Amino acid sequence: MIETININKTFGKLRVLKDISIKLENNSSVALLGPNASGKTTFIKSVLGMVLPESGTIKVNNTDIKNDDSYRSQIGYMPQIGRYPENMNIGQVFEMIMDMRKEQMNHADTDLLDAFNMKSIFHKRMGTLSGGTRQKVSACLAFLFRPKIIILDEPTAGLDPLSSEILKEKVKTEKNNGKLIIITSHILSELDELVSEIIFFREGELMFHKKLEELQLQTGEKSVSKVITTILKNNNE
Amino acid sequence: MNKIVKYIMLDILKSKVVIAYLVFLMVTGFSIFNLDENTSKGLISLLNIILFIVPLVCLIYATIYIFNSSEFIELLTAQPVSRKKLITSIYAGVVLSLTLAFLIGIGLPILLFTPDATGFIFLLAGILLTLIFTSLAFLGSIVTKDKAKGIGVAIFIWLFFTILYDGLLLLLMFQFGDYPIEKPLMILTTFNPVDLARILILIHTDYAALMGYTGALFNEFLGSQKGTITILLILLIWIIVPTMIAVRKFRKKDL
């Protein structure tokens, strides 16, 4: 469960997050949408403790994340751009992160590792990998520790169709396992079967946070992309 | 903590830059000692090269390393570790790798040609400079936001401590030559770790008498042993203070 209460963040003069209050329950899958520079990534980073908001409270599973690090053991994060130390090989990257979260290793989730056939390329240097392969490494790491909360920032950008299908299947499985999943993506069509709620940001403000079904009723459309475009059109008129 | 350090060292020790640094130091060391029969003289020639190269490599390499690893550092902050532990581990990893390269590159020639107290002090000074300029590089790259600015800061720090600072002191000496400026000059010298390292080594060689103004002052005021300890203490402060500020800044930084 994630709860943010009135969080504000400015970069210089720019207000990137304006009084954002959101409550996300377990067992839901949330799409975080909005144009570029609307504050999506900053919001995610605030939840992960990478960006420190000027004011407001963030609670993960009912504990305030300020001055706490252990809460992150319940989160799996896949960043938008995955870059790794050049001279490490894939195996070492996995070893390193596994070493850091050793106490969670007895029930590791290696589904994605197997599906992407990662073990066969464990010896490859990170510096020689393509963007897509690095993206796969990031994806495997996000799911590896069976976290209760999974945050995916543009997960399928750069992945080939087959791999992105594998990843989507994995997201669906975890969604049915009662996890809280947060996805940002600009490819709305791929969100159709994945999400149950939609959050829309614009210029650092929360425009709406609603269940997908509710939005579908409201607009009379079925697919996520149609729903969103209809809402945006109505708003502009 | 040790685990992060281990993997960072695994990564850095394989990097071509660090290997080139090690080879360069070793080639320089062996060729200088081979050129000159007098190893004490050789040590002084080596000193002048070390005082330029070690700060430069530490500053530039550490700065580029941090900026190139920024996405990876972000990913690591998403793991359940504290920021303090993370940045100190990364610092330890970088510093240990660079120290190892220095110790092998320069240590081997020194062990073969001058395995005495002066040689030991020389190695110690090199290690301290590695620690100091790596922490300055960390501080610089945590405070700045983009890579170009970060490298600019690193180069400026290098220029300042290896060239500009001594020039300013010289200017001061000429301007105020008629006044008793020995003591203020000595105090000003402690603000430059490169000068301190130079003095530290020089007061342990036969060249103590020829070593110039500030060095002679240190010798006179502090005597050899007391001087050594004082310089070592000041150098330690030069390591601790920038590192502490860097850690504090990193804990508050938006990644």
pLDDT-based confidence at residue A103 (cuts at 50, 70, 90): confident
Residue B189 has pLDDT above 70, yes or no: yes
- B136: confidence class by pLDDT, cuts 50, 70, 90: very high
Question: Hey, what are A148's tokens?
Answer: 């209760």
Q: Which two tokens stand for residue A153?
A: 């920032």
Q: Identify how many contiguous H helices and E strands chain A contains and give both numbers.
A: 7, 10
Give the mean model confidence (pLDDT) for residues B179-188.
80
For residues A181 and A193, what is the distance between their CA atoms, to the nearest angstrom?
Answer: 13
Nearest of A20, A53, A52 to residue A209 by alpha carbon:
A20
- Residue B39 clears pLDDT 90, i.e. is over it: no
8 A C-beta contact, residue B54 and residue B130: yes
Q: Is the ipTM of this complex over 0.85?
A: yes
How do residues B51-100 score in pLDDT, each as one tens digit? 999 999 999 999 999 999 999 999 999 999 999 999 999 999 999 999 99
Probe site for chain B from A9, A87, A143 (most B CB atoms < 10 A): A87
Confidence at residue B199, expressed as pLDDT on a 0 to 100 scale: 82
pLDDT in tens, B98-126: 999 999 999 999 999 888 888 899 999 99
Of B14, B71, B254, the CB nearest to A51: B254
* Residue B180 identity (one-letter amino acid): P
- d(CA B209, CA B216) in angstroms, rounded, equals 7
Task: Report the DSSP pairing between strands A2-11 and A14-24.
Answer: antiparallel
pLDDT computed for residue B200 by the predictor = 84
Q: Do B255 and A84 touch (CB under 8 A)?
A: no
Helix (H, G, I), strand (E, B) or coil at A31: strand
DSSP-H helix ranges across chain A = 40-47, 90-100, 111-115, 131-143, 161-176, 212-219, 224-236
pLDDT at B216: 66
CB contact under 8 A, B72 and A97: no
Average pLDDT in the A143-171 region?
Answer: 91
Identity of the highest mean pLDDT range in B39-48, B161-170, B182-191, B222-231: B161-170
- Angle, helices B213-222 vs B224-251, to 10°: value is 110
Q: Which residues of B touch A (CB under 8 A)?
A: 3-4, 7-8, 10-12, 14-15, 68-72, 74-83, 252, 254-255
The answer to whether the Cβ–Cβ distance between A52 and B79 falls below 8 Å is: no
Closest by Cα among B29, B28, B63 to B149: B63
